[in-house]
Amino acid sequence: MRVRVKCCGITRVEDALAASRLGADAVGLIFTRRSPRYVDPRQAAAIRMALPPFVTAVALFMDDDVAWVAQVLNAVKPDLLQFHGAEPAAFCEIFARPYLKAVPMATVGDLGAYAAAHPRAAGFLLDAHAAGEAGGSGCTFDWTRVPRDFPRPLVLAGGLTPDNVGDAVRATRPWGVDVSSGVESAPGVKDEAKLRRFLDEVRRAESGLFDADGRG
Ligand SMILES: O=C(O)c1ccccc1N[C@@H]1O[C@H](COP(=O)(O)O)[C@@H](O)[C@H]1O
């Protein structure tokens, strides 16, 4: 199966278009103000409207309040939400939209129990959350902790770059991968050459995962 790619922390229309053209399945728009990749809802709406068909717009929040999430949803109309903080399922479900729940791998030991606490999540995004950083830290975690054959979609994140994403895909066989700082020239500004190499490496790695019958 194809490994899906999300490019997170998009703040410019041209970067969203480049990511889409190069084959990204999703772009992430960050609405938590503590991120250097924060994008205001008006700019995000312009990015969202510029996306070609079948490219998913993901709105990322981290322990933000209900009113702010609702305001962003109204303005941007994203396809998918990503809750990157300590939001319980009851909070994530208020908005009645499909959502990804981030898992802080630095502190979560039992992924099964964590997932069970979010029965309606569309999938789980495994991030390092290293050294107190909540996201976009550029830090990896121990990929041997990613279970094979987990019954729900797992998106690998945290410190992925064009240089390590091939090994990451071969080691974990994830549903998808997510990259933010690893394909930038500055926070919130994507580097097209890095993005191209990242997507090429994902495709190269995934092609080696399947046998002649297309089975993984
Ligand atoms: O990217 C950010 O600035 C960010 C800020 C706050 C919460 C989450 C954030 N990004 C998410 O973190 C992962 C990992 O980032 P990186 O690739 O290690 O830089 C990223 O995929 C986003 O989903």
Q: Whose CA is nearest to atom 23 of ligand 1?
A: 8
- Does position 133 have pLDDT exceeding 70, yes or no? no
Residue 215 domain-assigned (yes or no): no
The answer to whether ipTM exceeds 0.85 is yes
Residue 56 and residue 102: Cα distance in Å, rounded? 17
Residue 216 domain-assigned (yes or no): no
Predicted confidence band of residue 135 (pLDDT cuts 50, 70, 90): confident
Predicted confidence band of residue 209 (pLDDT cuts 50, 70, 90): confident
Residue 180 domain-assigned (yes or no): yes
**Structural domain count of the chain:** 1
Q: Whose CA is nearest to atom 9 of ligand 1?
A: 135
Question: What is the CATH classification number for the domain harbouring 152?
Answer: 3.20.20.70
Q: What mean pLDDT is predicted for residues 1-20?
A: 97
Residue 101 domain-assigned (yes or no): yes
| Active-site residue, 139 included | no
Q: What is the pLDDT of residue 212?
A: 44
- Per-residue pLDDT of 30-42, as tens digits, reads 999 999 999 999 9
- Does position 75 have pLDDT exceeding 80, yes or no? yes
Residue 23 domain-assigned (yes or no): yes
Q: State the distance from the centre of ligand 1 to the C-alpha of 180, rounded, in angstroms.
A: 5
- The long-range contacts involving 197-200, CB below 8 angstroms and separated by at least 24 positions, are 197/162, 198/5, 198/160, 198/161, 198/162, 198/165, 199/5, 199/22, 199/23, 199/24, 200/162
Instruction: Name the active-site residue from 7, 8, 92, 178.
Output: 8
| Active-site residue, 127 included | yes
Residue 73 domain-assigned (yes or no): yes
Residue 127 and residue 9: Cα distance in Å, rounded? 15
Q: Domain residues for 190?
A: 4-207
Instruction: Name the active-site residue from 15, 64, 127, 178.
Output: 127
Residue 16 domain-assigned (yes or no): yes
Residue 180 and residue 188: Cα distance in Å, rounded? 8
Q: Measure Cα distances from 172 to 23, 44, 92, 144 in Å.
A: 21, 32, 27, 7
Kindly tell me the number of DSSP H helices and DSSP E strands found in the chain: 7, 10
Residue 213 domain-assigned (yes or no): no
Q: How many CA atoms lie within 13 A of 70 on its CB side?
A: 7
